[in-house]
Chain A
Amino acid sequence: MVEFKTISYEAVTVGEEFMSDDFLIKPEDVETFAFAVDDHDPWYFEDSPLEGTIAHPVLMGNQALFMRHGKYIVPAGLHAKMQYEFVEPIRVGMRVRTRGKLIDKYEKRGRHYMVTEFATRDEETGTVLVRGQFTQMLFPKSGVHEDARKR
C-alpha cells in the first residue's frame, strides 16, 4: 500500500524514482487529445507513412508529469521547463508506462524546483517511445508565489 505524503522541497530526494501506472492507449484518448489541442492531423486518424495511424508525439506528456502523484499528495505546482525527445511513434493499442528519476532539486530566487528525467516505453516490447526531462516548481504551503501569477 502506498503511504502518500504531501510533496515539498524537503520531502523529495535526488535519486528518488517514480513510476506511472500502465495505460492502454485507446482510440478515444487520441480523439480527446486532438480536441484538447485542436490538432486533427489525418496521420492520427486515417493513415501515416509509418505503417498505419500514429498518435500525437506529446500524447503521454501528462503520464510523465503525474508520476509523482503516485507517491505524493500534490496540492499544486507550476511547470517550468519541458524537454522531449521523440524516439518511436506512439500508437493506439499500446500499453505504455513512464518511469523517471529525480535528478536535481534546487532553490532559485526563493522558489523551489525539482528536475525529473523520464522515459515512456511500450510495456509489451520495452521500446522507448519518448524520453526527456522536466522541471516543476513546488508551491509553498501558503499558496502561489506572488510573481508567478503575473501575466
Chain B
Amino acid sequence: MPASASTFEVGSELPTLKKTITQRQIDCYSGVRPKSIHTDVEWAKAKGFPAPLAQALMSTAYVSQMMVTWLGTGFIKGGKISASFIKPVIVGDTLTARAVIKSKENDGGRPRVTVECWCENQHGVKTLVGSASGFADQLRM
C-alpha cells in the first residue's frame, strides 16, 4: 500500500520515482571536463565502461526527492541518508527509486521514520541500497 498521511504503516511503500538519465543532465551535475568517466565518452571507454557513468551521488538526489516530497520540513531539517553504491549507472539508464517504511521511533520527542531505500535500473538491477530517515510530524502528502 502506498504511504501517505493517512497510511503510515511499517511495510508501506512510498510512491516511486523514475528517472531516465541523459548526458546533458550528467554534464550539468558533474561539470564537463576532459578525462572524466562522467563526461568524456572516450575516456570512459578507455577505462573499460561502455559509456559515461552517471555520478553515483545523483542517485542520492532521487532518494532526497522522495523524502522531501513525503516528509517535507521533517527531512530538510533532520533528515538522513545512508547509501551504498553497488553498481554503476550508465548514461541512458532508467532508474526507479523506491522506499519502504522500515521503522518509526521516538527521537527527542519527535517521530522519526526510517525507510529502506534503493534504486534499480531498467534491468531490475539494484544500483543503490541504503536507508533514509526524517521527522514525520509534518507530513507533506
A57, B69: Cα distance in complex, Å: 12
- Shortest Cβ gap from B42 to chain A (Å): 14
Contact indicator B62/A89 (Cβ below 8 Å): no
**Chain A residues, Cβ within 8 Å of B83:** 81-83
How many residues of chain A are within 8 Å of chain B by beta carbon? 40
A56-B125 in contact given A36-B29, A89-B77 (Cβ < 8 Å): no
Q: Which residue of A lies closest to B18 (CB)?
A: A38
Binding site for B on A (CB under 8 A): 32-33, 35-39, 41, 43, 48-50, 54, 56-58, 61-62, 65, 75-76, 78-89, 143-144, 146, 148-151
Binding site for A on B (CB under 8 A): 19, 25-26, 28-30, 35, 37, 46-49, 55-58, 60-62, 64-65, 68-69, 72-73, 75-85, 87-88, 90, 121, 123, 125, 138
**Chain B residues, Cβ within 8 Å of A50:** 73, 76-77
**Chain A residues, Cβ within 8 Å of B55:** 62, 79
Contact indicator B88/A151 (Cβ below 8 Å): yes
Given A37-B61, A86-B77, 13 additional A-B pairs, CB 8 A: A39-B61, A39-B65, A57-B76, A62-B30, A62-B55, A62-B57, A75-B35, A76-B37, A79-B56, A83-B82, A86-B79, A87-B78, A149-B48
- Shortest Cβ gap from A39 to chain B (Å): 5
Interface majority SS (helix, strand, loop, mixed), chain B? mixed
27 A-B Cβ contacts within 8 A? A32-B28, A33-B61, A35-B25, A36-B25, A37-B29, A37-B62, A49-B73, A56-B64, A57-B64, A57-B75, A58-B64, A79-B85, A81-B83, A81-B84, A82-B56, A82-B83, A83-B80, A84-B64, A86-B80, A87-B77, A87-B78, A143-B46, A149-B49, A150-B87, A151-B88, A151-B90, A151-B123
Q: Which residue of A lies closest to B93 (CB)?
A: A151
Contact indicator B79/A78 (Cβ below 8 Å): no
